[in-house]
Structure 1
Amino acid sequence: MTTSGPEHDTDETPDPDAAVPAHHGDPPAEQRAMARSAAVVDRSHRDVLAVAGDERLSWLHLLLTQHVSELPPDTGTEALVLDGQGRVLHHMAVASTGGTVYLDTESGEGAALLDYLRKMVFWSAVELRDATAELAVLSVVGPEVPAVLEKAGLPLPPAPHGVAGLEGGGFVRRTPWPGRDAVDVAVPRDAKDTWWSTLTAAGARAAGTMAFEALRVESRAPRLHRDTDERTIPHEVGWIGPAVHLTKGCYRGQETVARVANLGRPPRRQVLLHLDAGDEDLPRTGDPVHRGDRQVGRVGTVVQHHELGPVALALVKRSVPVDAELTAGLEERASPASIDPDSYEADPDRTPPGRAVRGQAARPGRRT
């Protein structure tokens, strides 16, 4: 049995995964397959953009948060587009292969991203197109991914970010999440069903987005609009490094990125919450997190994990201690919550480098 997204999403906001199957009859078993063997998930609702032309890498380097001007062929990464205050507007997975850079992003986000990129072309030698109708993304996750790809006749790119182009169009991209081994297989959209059958015949269990999201939450990989809000800056959700290069400049919002990295710490941090709630009363994305009577955070993605039980990603104020007694959710879905200590990155004892320099400059009698 295949079930589409709305059945498993209790949020009043539209389900971002409604266009693809939520599960194939047994969500916990599908999670276990991802964790212990291999499973394939239909993520063909993701929007895909293609950037070609001789200046594609140098041009993208000026717009994205990631260092891509010298991205080697057959390599992938992640990147963001920020607003002028350094807040996250777009997140994308990147694959550079065959003279083209592919950017895949959340369903429904591609048009706005493409519009922004087109406005920034000016006289650059780049060619942009919406490739969503051309390519469909299937994700294969689990420790047996190498064996599945070999049986399916697909290449296995090197970890963690290798990319291999496919004959006839598309690519295989290695990703560091949501499981021990994971690849995105972008295939011609008109051949998606054929490739699905090939991958399941090669040993990958059919799984839905419920299983994928559960492992993503476990790996603490944030998702745009689920685990971010209109105020989110990259430092708060762990995108510094994976999607933001701290030593490159020349992109919108870079001043905020550098200032927070050098002079202070972000106002919030992403944590994993363990929820003491039943299956039917889980908090929803966007619900508040309280410490006593005071709101201290926001609930992100909420899942039922096959081993951890009900858990959620959340953005909480930096002042919230790791052992705080919290409540996540509203009214009948309010749940006692505790922070997973492994997800809590304590502030370093050292003073941020920029603040230390400013402190030295302010000392009386300092020579300049």
Structure 2
Amino acid sequence: MPSPFASLPGAVVSADGPDAGAVWHYGNPVGEQRALEDGRAVVELARGVITVAGPDRLSWLNSITSQNLLGLAEGESSETLVLDPSGRIEHAVRVVEDGEQLWLLVDHDEAAGLLDFLQKMRFMLRVEIEDVTDAHAVLGSTKPLFALAAPRDQTASEPIEDFRTVVWHDPWSQVALGGHQYAGDDHDYSAWSWYETIVTRDFAAGLAGRAASDLLSVAGVAASEALRIAARRPRFATEVDERSIPHELDWLRSAVHLNKGCYRGQETVAKVHNLGHPPRRLVLLHLDGSDGVLPGAGTEVVQGEAVVGHVTSSALHHELGPIALAVVKRSADPTAQLAVRADGTEVAAAQEVIVPPSAGASAEVPRLPRLGAVTRPPRAAG
């Protein structure tokens, strides 16, 4: 369904990729980014929306995903992952309970696959699942939507009609109960504030009309992506591939409960966290901007002549300059200068460690003697 925001002056619509159909920018990406970060603008996001009603909704979703959702209160937000039996990420789901039903938000192209999975897992439980994407829009902001949408001048416009809000507040700003953070203390995650508000299509059209009358500031998805990357925040549509496990992206901090009951993929989650190490790790790259090259997703990351990973998403940040998230091999030296091969050139890339090579192996398991090894008592003194 065409977005009413796409008809605003200067709108450049993304033609492909995970944000296809959404406005990429309105002609001033850096200015829009500043406005969004300062809480002065709103952005329409490419999201799929699924509702789950019925008295078993919380216990049911809790049993098949990675987060502990039991007791989720009205208005409370969470995040959970659907994993395959080997612990690889199949879906990343934003969850909010409104007292009557659960609202599940996913990247737009993920909705059909998640709906199919949920329908297959219903069994005889009392849950009702519905894809309501066509009837709703999702608006992102760094402050609650109604702090932005209120009239700037009461004489200029009537107040926005009140309606029942459904708002997902991103839990990424702190480690969730039962979660674990691999990243060090060099980054202030508490500064991250992000809201996704679910509204009707008609309400979204009304907000677009306010924007056309300069009563509401808007930003494109390019702005929200730049802020997300700077916050080291993984996204399913960009950072996840067919091999991804939560540990590689530091996703245990917000979407995994390490002490809940069994669910599909739980054995791998526990084994890697307690006894092993994730084979890859997420890094933030600060790119040399002198050549004006911004590498796209899939661009190779190299250490010397060796390819050690690939870029997953990139952006031009209004303060940090060109930055990117990348997934690299665990063996890549965390102190080494990396480079990105883009458009026939090598762009220097200073890495900021998110998931360290030491991630995992959290259980204090004593090392046993190697089978067949001879152990001798300590030699007596004298």
Matched, 1:326 2:361: no
- Distance change (3 Å), C-alpha of 1:265 and 1:338: same
Residue in 2 that maps onto 1:3: 12
Matched, 1:231 2:243: yes
SS in 1 for 2:117: helix
Q: Deviations over 1:81-110 (max 9, x none)?
A: 011110111111111103100111011111
Q: Deviations over 1:31-60 (max 9, x none)?
A: 1112234210011x3111100001000000
Q: Deviations over 1:177-202 (max 9, x none)?
A: 69743321110123211134458989
Judge conservation of contact 1:326–1:338 (CA < 8 Å) in 2: yes
Matched, 1:173 2:168: yes
Matched, 1:352 2:357: no
SS in 2 for 1:245: coil
Map residues 37-56 of structure 1 onto 2, 5 A cutoff.
37-43=39-45, 45-56=46-57
Residue in 2 that maps onto 1:95: 96
Structure 1 Cα separation of the partners of residues 369 and 254 of structure 2: 32
Displacement of 1:254: 0.6
Q: Deviations over 1:55-75 (max 9, x none)?
A: 000000111111012212211
- Distance change (3 Å), C-alpha of 1:269 and 1:51: same
Structure 2 Cα separation of the partners of residues 325 and 180 of structure 1: 27
Residue in 1 that maps onto 2:177: none
> Aligned pair count?
340
- Distance change (3 Å), C-alpha of 1:361 and 1:47: farther
SS in 2 for 1:298: strand
Residue in 2 that maps onto 1:130: 131
> Which of 227, 245, 257 in structure 2 is aligned with 1:245?
257
Structure 1 Cα separation of the partners of residues 113 and 13 of structure 2: 26
Residue in 2 that maps onto 1:31: 33
Residue in 2 that maps onto 1:108: 109
Displacement of 1:205: 2.1
What CA RMSD, in Å, does the superposition of the two structures yield over aligned residues?
A: 2.9
Q: Runs of 5+ in structure 2 lacking a partner?
A: 1-9, 153-160, 174-190, 376-382
Structure 2 Cα separation of the partners of residues 274 and 30 of structure 1: 21
> Which of 197, 204, 209 in structure 2 is aligned with 1:185?
197
User: Normalising to structure 1: TM-score of the pair?
Assistant: 0.84
SS in 1 for 2:64: coil
2:348 counterpart letter in structure 1: P
Q: Runs of 5+ in structure 1 lacking a partner?
A: 7-13, 153-165
